């Protein structure tokens, strides 16, 4: 009707939104595009910070909100949630018939978006394929690559892998990761404002971000289902012994997240938290400004690999969750043991800031992605590209 290209971006969880936000802002500014966000899964849930409210507050149009999260602390819940996501996303796409669907990264529900779009014959763009990690995400990520018609990857090596998997070279674009755009922009956040935000959000100790402090972000490992509790307990133990103030983020949703949350709750109930501030959720740029300000990031989040490379923040990466991901020299990998974590953090705090790296992008991925999405629509009739 309007002649505008109708783009739907599927957001199923808070981290996906943080990651893609700069591209959304760039798309929103374009005249030739009608941008809509399709929210489902944990994006609608209080327990995971209801990023849908943030998306609306940021001025984006939410075309549909799909409750698809089947609660439970068992592996089967991932499959059931994926099925519900496929089911309701398919119905929404059938109704709305967008020109293109964009899906981000590799969370288990994102497969539901990918399947729905592919089966309905709607061109599917995948952001952040071709990387390597260490759990169910690994299978999901590459399977989505094989469902998708166009690929925006973060690194040259990731692009090579996507090509090896049989995707046509012309469908692969090394855009860099849009999450690095936020890292670049986070330089604009005032430390005073950030301190105020931190003080007003969350619970626990006051942490002065102009002094030394750590950031802790530990997600449950889905392969090591059941060990989430003890892993988080170990991390908390190490942080406690370090006796440096810390800002800790509640975990994202996954099978096992209840174990992680429980470890945090028990730690608090035992009173081990007198130097820690607990945060459920922080706006993306603010989070990265916090990271930029910190002495060290501890945990198993991909932020330690990607945005931290650009920021030059020292990282202690725990366990196998990021195994296989390309990384810069700002990362020390350790097993999930108190002593190992303690020692590595001490070393990183002593080392201080690293040089900034553009391995995962130069901070302008969003505009590149927006231009490509708004450009030529990929053909959905693809075939394995033999070399």
Least spacing, CB of residue 80 vs a copy of itself, in Å: 6
Least spacing, CB of residue 146 vs a copy of itself, in Å: 4
Query: CB-based contacts of 365: which residues, under 8 Å, 6+ apart?
Result: 22, 23, 152, 154, 175, 176, 177, 178, 180, 181
Q: What is the DSSP letter of 135?
A: S
Least spacing, CB of residue 86 vs a copy of itself, in Å: 4
CA gap 38, 331 in Å, rounded: 35
Q: Choose between 115 and 303: whose C-beta lies nearer to a copy of itself.
A: 115
Q: Choose between 93 and 298: whose C-beta lies nearer to a copy of itself.
A: 93
Q: Choose between 148 and 246: whose C-beta lies nearer to a copy of itself.
A: 148
CA gap 369, 154 in Å, rounded: 11
Least spacing, CB of residue 161 vs a copy of itself, in Å: 6
Q: Choose between 136 and 289: whose C-beta lies nearer to a copy of itself.
A: 136
Answer for the pair 365, 176: CB distance below 8 angstroms, yes or no.
yes
What are residue 92's phi and psi, to 5 degrees? -65, -40
CA gap 280, 259 in Å, rounded: 16
Least spacing, CB of residue 232 vs a copy of itself, in Å: 15
Q: Choose between 31 and 269: whose C-beta lies nearer to a copy of itself.
A: 269
The C-alpha angle 187, 325, 264, rounded to 5 degrees, equals 70
Answer for the pair 307, 330: CB distance below 8 angstroms, yes or no.
no
Q: Choose between 266 and 349: whose C-beta lies nearer to a copy of itself.
A: 266
Q: Choose between 151 and 161: whose C-beta lies nearer to a copy of itself.
A: 161
Least spacing, CB of residue 119 vs a copy of itself, in Å: 4
Q: How many Å separate Cα 244 from the centre of its chain?
A: 26
Residues paired with 176 in a beta bridge: none
Least spacing, CB of residue 103 vs a copy of itself, in Å: 13
How far apart, in Å, are the Cα atoms of 71 and each of 42, 50, 91, 136, 280?
10, 16, 22, 18, 19
């Amino acid at each position: 009707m309007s002649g505008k290209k109708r783009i739907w971006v599927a957001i199923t969880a808070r981290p996906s939104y943080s990651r893609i936000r700069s591209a959304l802002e760039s798309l929103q500014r374009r005249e030739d595009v009608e941008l809509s966000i399709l929210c489902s899964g944990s994006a609608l849930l209080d327990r995971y910070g209801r990023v849908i409210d943030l998306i609306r507050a940021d001025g984006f149009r939410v075309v549909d909100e799909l409750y698809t999260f089947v609660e439970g602390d068992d592996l089967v819940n991932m499959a059931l949630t994926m099925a519900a996501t496929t089911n309701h996303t398919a119905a929404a796409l059938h109704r709305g018939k967008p020109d293109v669907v964009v899906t981000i990264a590799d969370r288990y529900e994102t497969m539901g978006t990918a399947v729905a779009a592919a089966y309905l014959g709607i061109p599917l763009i995948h952001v952040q394929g071709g990387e390597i990690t260490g759990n169910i995400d690994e299978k999901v990520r590459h399977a989505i690559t094989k469902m998708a018609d166009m690929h925006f990857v973060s690194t040259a090596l990731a692009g090579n892998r996507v090509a090896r998997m049989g995707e046509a070279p012309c469908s692969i674009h090394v855009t860099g990761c849009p999450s690095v755009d936020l890292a670049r922009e986070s330089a604009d956040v005032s430390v005073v404002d950030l301190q105020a935000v931190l003080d007003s959000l969350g619970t626990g100790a006051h942490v002065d971000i102009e002094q030394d402090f750590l950031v802790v972000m530990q997600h449950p490992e889905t392969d090591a289902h059941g060990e989430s509790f003890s892993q988080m307990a170990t991390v908390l133990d190490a942080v406690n012994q370090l006796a440096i103030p810390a800002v800790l983020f509640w975990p994202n949703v996954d099978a096992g997240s209840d174990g992680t949350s429980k470890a945090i709750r028990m730690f608090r109930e035992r009173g081990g938290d007198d130097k820690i501030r607990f945060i459920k959720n922080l706006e993306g740029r603010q989070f990265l400004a916090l990271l930029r300000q910190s002495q060290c990031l501890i945990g198993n989040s991909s932020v330690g690999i990607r945005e931290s490379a650009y920021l030059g923040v020292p990282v202690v990466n725990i366990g196998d969750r990021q195994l296989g991901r390309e990384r810069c020299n700002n990362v020390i990998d350790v097993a999930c043991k108190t002593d190992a974590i303690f020692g590595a953090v001490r070393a990183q705090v002593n080392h201080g800031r690293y040089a900034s790296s553009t391995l995962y992008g130069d901070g302008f991925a969003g505009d590149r992605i927006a231009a490509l999405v708004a450009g030529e629509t990929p053909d959905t009739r693809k075939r394995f590209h033999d070399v």
